[in-house]
Amino acid sequence: MNKVLCKFGLESSKLVVSRYLSVSASNKTKYTCKLLVVGGGSGGCTVAAKFSRRLKKGSVIVLEPSSDHYYQPLFTLVGAGVTSVAATRRDAASVLPSNAVWIQDSAKSIKPSQNVVITSRGDEISYEYAVIAAGLKNDYDKIPGLPRALKDSTSGVSTIYAPEYAEKTWSDIRSFEGGEAVFTFPDTPIKCPGAPQKIAYMADAYFNKKNVRSKSTITYNTCLPTIFGVKKYADELMKVVERKKIKVNYRSVLKSIDVDRKEAVFTKSGDQNEQFTLSYKLLHVTPPMSTPAFLHSPEVSDACGFLTVDKFTLRHDRHTNIYGIGDCTNTANSKTAAAIAKQCYVLERNLWADMSGGHGAQRYDGYGACPIVTSYGTCILAEFLYDGVPHETMPYNQAKESKIAYYMKRHLFPFIYWNMMLKGWYHGPEIVRKIINPFGN
């Protein structure tokens, strides 16, 4: 049996007893807490850190199944051979706040009218307030042939969107001797929507280093009608694409992979009957993504399974004691760690006001950032708000490729993440921006 350190309520809603419990299928446990945080990734860990300082010890429960915590923004550089998966990982126990109770399990269902979450083991967690930070999962099975291809070390198919496959991307790029290199962007919301093109740029840079670029064709297939959603950066990225001689197929969606023939079948967005096939030596797939199954409920989510929150306050649109943060919400911002940093500031103040008998009215402006590496040593640092409005921190035009942006991506941002953000102390670069670039670009 799996032993977990837990606390459970014996009187009203207080967590008053702490001990080791043996949990099995025949021994379901009931927990109560002031705040339940569903998910221990970037958003969940940050929120838990903040409220573990504000509330009594044991008042916060974090429901998170994984013992690993990854800094996922570096997976692009893992795929390009700059760093390793091991360097992006920490034990979850080392980053979750010690004053919180960690239940190593996942959510099976949520009953918002009863203020209850049921876990996969069948345990019941009652909460006064909840923050849903459940993230997104990769849906490999939605592309026939993809699961088999990823498991086959000789297939030439990989993805940087999972720690178990990111180093396979580097292996494929390193061993590439020429031919067709194909990269994809799916027709679902995804984490870090700049990453599918970043790895294409890094592949181009490595192929040039290895002197195989002249024997190679790089094709980027995206479901989108443009290379990037913010025009200022899209204009510069098109210059990168043209310089690198990367062919872009817009409104193109990967539908299946024939592993034996090494062929990828695509359809055009909105027209399943319009298909084309690309042969490949190397295929990097950004998989379709979705929220966890427990969110696919009309009580809390939209038709696609995304938690429905007010895009400014991050409070649920019907259940006022539930908030959402990060990739699992229906807010129209880019799904990045930078967005979470700003969201956690708004969420903390609004949720704490609610807990204190008021009604928080802090507003999230849609801030997000995407450092788009274009080579080994250059990067475009895109920063923007809702509706694609640029909102830059540095006192130069961040749409231009720069070395400083690359080293911020490679070294500064990971340091901030591990040492400040996950501990609840970082809310984005707003203070820095006001000092060094008060009028923006």
* pLDDT at 270 (0 to 100): 75
What are the chain's domains?
2-136+291-355 (3.50.50.60), 138-289 (3.50.50.60), 368-436 (no CATH)
Considering the candidates 6, 33, 45, 192, report the single residue annotated as catalytic: 192
Q: Are 354 and 372 in contact (CB under 8 A)?
A: no
Helix (H) or strand (E) holding 18: strand 17-23
Rounded distance, CA 380 to CA 384, Å?
A: 13
pLDDT value at position 408? Answer: 98
In the chain, what's the furthest Cα-to-Cα distance?
Answer: 72
Closest by CA position to 406, among listed 201, 109, 247: 201
First to last CA, the chain: 58
Which tens digits make up the pLDDT trace of 197-247? 999 999 999 999 999 999 999 999 999 999 999 999 999 999 999 999 999
Can you tell me the distance from the alpha carbon of 276 to that of 161, in angstroms, rounded to the nearest whole number? Answer: 25
141: which DSSP letter? G
Residues in the chain where the model's pLDDT stays below 70 = 1-26, 440-441
pTM greater than 0.85: yes
Q: Is 379 a catalytic residue?
A: no
Predicted local distance difference test score (pLDDT) of residue 440: 66
CA Rg, the chain, in Å?
22
Q: For 330, how many CA atoms within 13 A lie in the half-sphere containing its CB?
A: 16
The owner of tokens 């042969």 is 279
Catalytic residue among 223, 328, 370, 379: 370
Model pLDDT for residues 52-74, shown as the tens digit of each residue: 999 999 999 999 999 999 999 99
- The answer to whether 85 touches 167, Cβ cutoff 8 Å, is yes
Asked if residue 189 lies in contact with residue 229, where contact means CB atoms within 8 angstroms, the answer is: no
Q: Is 192 a catalytic residue?
A: yes
Task: Give residue 27's pLDDT.
Answer: 73
pLDDT tens string 3-50: 333 333 322 333 333 322 333 344 789 999 999 999 999 999 999 999
- State the pLDDT at residue 14: 30
